[in-house]
Amino acid sequence: MIGPGHPRPGDPRPHDGSAPGPGHVPPQPPQPSQPPRPQLIRVGRAADNDIVIDDLLTARHHARLTPTGDGYRLDDLSGHHQTFAQGVLVERGIYVRDGDIVTFGKTRFVVGPSGLTLLADAPADGGLTVRDLSYTLPKGLTLTENVNLSLSGSRLVAVIGPSGCGKSTLLRLINGELKPSRGSVHYQGFDTHHNQEEIHGRIGVVPQHTIAHRKLGARRALLYTAQLRLSHDTTAAERTGRVDQVLEELGLAESRHTRIENMSGGQQRRLAIGFELITRPSMLVLDEPTSGLDPALVRQIMTTLRELADDGRLVIVTTHDLAHVDLCDDVLIMRPGGKIEYYGPPSGIADHFGTGDWADIFEQLKAVQAGPDPSPPTPPTAPASNSPSAPPTSPAPSIPPSPAVRTVAGRVSGSRSVLSTRLLSRRTEIPEVVGPRAADDEKRRRQQTSVLCRRQLHLIFADRPFAAFMLALPVGLAILALVIPNESGLGRPAYGGSTEAMRLLVILVVGAAFMGMAATVRDLVAERRIYRHERAAGLIPEAYLASKLIIFGSIAVIQSVLLLMLTLTVRDGPEDGVLIGDGGLELGIALASTAVVSAVLGMVVSSLVSTPEQTMPPLVLVIMAQLVFCGGLIEITGRAFVDQLSWLTPSRWGYAMAASTVNVTELMPNSPDDVLWRHNPLAWLGGLAALAVLGVAATYLARRRLRAL
C-alpha cells in the first residue's frame, strides 16, 4: 500500500532528469528487513479474497499468487483473459518476480516482498508517449511522419488539420489498431500495438460512424455490450447498474428505451461514447465525433468530452469543428504529410501562425506542403507540470490506497525506477507453468456465443420487415409448387412415368438453397464495422460465427420444414423412405441440410464483399448455379467437367438425397442414370456426407475471413 512517507510509484525520477534504461536499477539506500511473504494471495471481486477489487472486468475469484523464492507463482482463475504480467497475457500459471507489474482486469499492482501495491489507473500514471512515430503504406505513401508526443494528466486534446493530413491514421496508431512503420506508442508503460489485450480495457475507441445495431434500444444495446466486455461472472444487477450509470453520465437516461435508429445524431454519438465507458477507460480516442452534426449538437458533444476529461480521463479527439477549440486544454495541428505543425494551448495558435483566422491557417498548412519542408518543430509535450518526462520540482504527494482495494500487509518502497522496466516481447522471459486452459477458453466462447445468439434473435424480431420476409419465403415457394400440374406429386403415378416429381424436387431443393443464402448473404457485411470494433474489445471470432450458424441454421431448418409441410398438404408425398422408412422425414432432412449449407455459403459471400449492395450479383449467380447444377433441370450426369463442377453446389447433393428418397429413377423410366439418385441407403448417406463436407469447408472459409477482417 502507499502511505505517508512512501513516494507514489511512477512519479520519482533520477535526479538528473533522465529516464532509466531497460534493466537499469539505480542504487537504493539500505532497506529495513521485510516481513516474510504472505503464504497465499487471492485476488478478485468477492469479499473473501485477500485483495478485493471493485472492477467489473475482474472475476469474483480472479487469480491466486503462491509465494516462491524470489516472487510468486501467478495462476489465473478467471478464464476471461484479463490477467497480465508485464503486459503479457497470462494463459496459464507463470512466475513473477519482485518489481513486476501484474494486472487483474484493468487494476494494476506491483509485486513486492510483502505482497502487492496498487498502481492508480489514471492518465497521469505513465501517460501517453509517442516517439518518432511514422506510418507508410506498402506503395510508399507516408501518412504519418516523425510524430512525437508526451501527454499526461486529465485533459482534452483536439487534433486538427486539413483533410488527408493523417489525423485518423494517428489515432489508429495510438490505439494500437495499426502497426507503426517506425517508432512506438506507449500508454501507461505498455506498447499499444504489442500489448493490445492488456490495454484495450484502458483505452476506449469511438470511431467516426455509430457502431451499434440500430434496431436495438439504447439500454438493451449497452447491456449486450456489458455482457460481452465485462467479466463473465458479473450479475445482471451489476451490469444493469453500470449501464444505468453510463446513461446518467451521458444525459441519455430519458432516452434509454428509444431505438438507436430513432435517436438524434448527437444522442447516437453520445451513445457511441457510452459503449466505451462500460469498462471505465482512462483514455478516450474519438475520430470525428462531431462530423455531420448541426452547431447545437456539436456543442453538446464537445461539452460532453470536456466533462469526461474533467472526470479524470485523457481525451483525444480529431475534429473539423473549430468553433469550440477553446474547450480543449491543448490543440495538435497537423499539416499534409502527417507532420505536426503546432501543439499547445488554443491561446497560442494565433501567435504561432500570425493570425487567428482558421481559413488563413489552413492555407498556410497547405502551402507548407507545396513549398520546401521546414525544419521540424520541437517535439511537443504536455506542460512540464504534467509531463511524465519532466523532472519533478517537488516531492510527489503520497496517495492513500483506493477504498476498493485491500492490499496485503507490507509496503513496497521506492519508485518506478526500482521496478523491472522490461516490457516482455517474448513469453519465454516469464517461465510458464503448464496447466489446463482449454476448459476456460471453451467456457468463455460458450458465454459469448450465448450472448450473441440472444442479441441476434432480438435483432431479427426487432426488424419486422425482415422477419416477415423470412416467414413469407417458404409460403411463396410452396405456392410456386402449385404451378406444376398435379398428377401424383412425389408418389408413384397410377400409370406410366411422370416428370412431376423431378420438377417438384427442383423447386423444393433450389428453394431451400435460396432461403438459406437469402438470410445470411447481407448479414456479415452489414455488421462488419460492429464486428471489427467488438473484436478489438475482446470478441472471439469463433463465438461470433457460431452464433450466426446456430440462429440462421435454425431459421433455415424451420423454413425448410415449413416449405415441405405446405407442399405436402396439396401434393402426395413419397411412399416410403430409403433409410429411415419415413419418406417425408428423409425429404425434410435433405431440404434442411441443403438450406443450412447454403446459409453458410451465404456467410462466405458476405465476408468477401465490401458493401451490402454488392451482395446481389453473387447471390443471383450462386442461386442460378444451384439451379443448373442440381441435376433436375439439365442432365449433367456423365458430362466431363460439368459433373465435377456440380459437386461444389449444395443443391447437387440435396437433390440427390431427395431423388434417392423419392426413387426418381423408377418413377421416371427415362430419367438420367445418375448413380447418386439410386434408391439405396448408401446413395442417400453419400449425399448427406457430401453436404457435411461442403458445410465444414464453407465454415472454415468463413472463419478465415472473419479472422482476416
Domain boundaries, the chain: 41-120+399-435, 127-202+282-394, 211-280, 440-708
The C-alpha atoms of residue 143 and residue 120 are separated, in whole angstroms, by: 35
pLDDT at 427: 34
pLDDT at 36: 64
In the block, which residue shows the cell 479524470?
312
Separation in Å, CA 145 to CA 137, 187, 352: 12, 20, 21
Indicate the pTM of the whole model. Answer: 0.83
The C-alpha atoms of residue 275 and residue 579 are separated, in whole angstroms, by: 53
The neighbouring-strand residues paired with 316 are 157, 285
Separation in Å, CA 528 to CA 60, 548, 664: 33, 13, 44
pLDDT at 414: 31
- Per DSSP, the residues of 255-294 read GTTSBGGGS-HHHHHHHHHHHHHTT--SEEEEESTTTT--
Mean pLDDT of 51-79: 90
Dihedral sign from CA coordinates of 553, 554, 555, 559: positive
- Single-letter amino acid code for the residue at 687: G
In the block, which residue shows the cell 442460378?
624
Name the pLDDT band for 369 (thresholds 50, 70, 90). Answer: low
pLDDT at 379: 45
List, for residues 624-661, the tens digit of each pLDDT value: 999 999 998 888 888 889 999 999 999 999 999 999 99
Q: Is 249 helix (H, G, I), strand (E, B) or coil?
A: helix
Start-to-end C-alpha separation, the chain: 44
Q: How far is CA 83 from the centre of its chain?
A: 19
Separation in Å, CA 124 to CA 104, 127, 354: 20, 5, 33
Q: Which residue has the higher pLDDT, 303 or 441?
A: 303
List, for residues 157-173, the tens digit of each pLDDT value: 999 999 889 999 999 99
Cβ-based neighbours of 125, under 8 Å, separated by 6 or more:
10, 119, 188
pLDDT at 123: 59
The C-alpha atoms of residue 476 and residue 479 are separated, in whole angstroms, by: 5
Q: Which residue has the higher pLDDT, 407 or 551?
A: 551
Q: Exposed/middle/buried for 283, CB within 10 Å: 0-12, 13-18, 19+? A: buried
Secondary element (H or E) of residue 499: none
The side-by-side arrangement of strands in the sheet containing 107-112 is 88-89, 83-85, 101-104, 107-112, 115-119
Closest of 507, 469, 481 to residue 654, by C-alpha: 507
> What are the φ/ψ torsions at residue 313 (nearest 5 degrees)?
-125, 155
List, for residues 479-519, the tens digit of each pLDDT value: 998 888 777 778 777 565 667 888 899 999 999 999 999 99
The C-alpha atoms of residue 702 and residue 606 are separated, in whole angstroms, by: 9
The C-alpha atoms of residue 708 and residue 703 are separated, in whole angstroms, by: 9
pLDDT at 549: 98
Q: Max CA-CA distance within the chain?
A: 107
Closest of 635, 622, 633 to residue 594, by C-alpha: 622
Contact 112, 411 (CB under 8 A): yes
pLDDT at 86: 86
pLDDT at 258: 96
> Over the chain, what is the mean pLDDT?
83
Q: Which residue has the higher pLDDT, 251 or 415?
A: 251
Decide if pLDDT at 155 tops 80: yes
List, for residues 78-132, the tens digit of each pLDDT value: 877 789 998 888 877 899 999 999 999 889 999 988 889 998 765 545 689 999 9
Q: Which residue has the higher pLDDT, 333 or 385?
A: 333
List, for residues 227-275, the tens digit of each pLDDT value: 999 998 999 999 999 999 999 999 999 999 999 999 999 999 999 999 9
Q: Which residue has the higher pLDDT, 452 or 417?
A: 452
Name the pLDDT band for 667 (thresholds 50, 70, 90). Answer: confident
In the block, which residue shows the cell 435460396?
514
Decide if pLDDT at 410 tops 80: no
Q: Exposed/middle/buried for 120, CB within 10 Å: 0-12, 13-18, 19+? A: buried
The CATH architecture assigned to 127-202+282-394 reads: 3-Layer(aba) Sandwich (3.40)
Cell of 62: 480472479
On whether the 41-120+399-435 domain is CATH 1.25.40.10, my answer is: no
Cβ-based neighbours of 239, under 8 Å, separated by 6 or more:
56, 223, 226, 227, 230
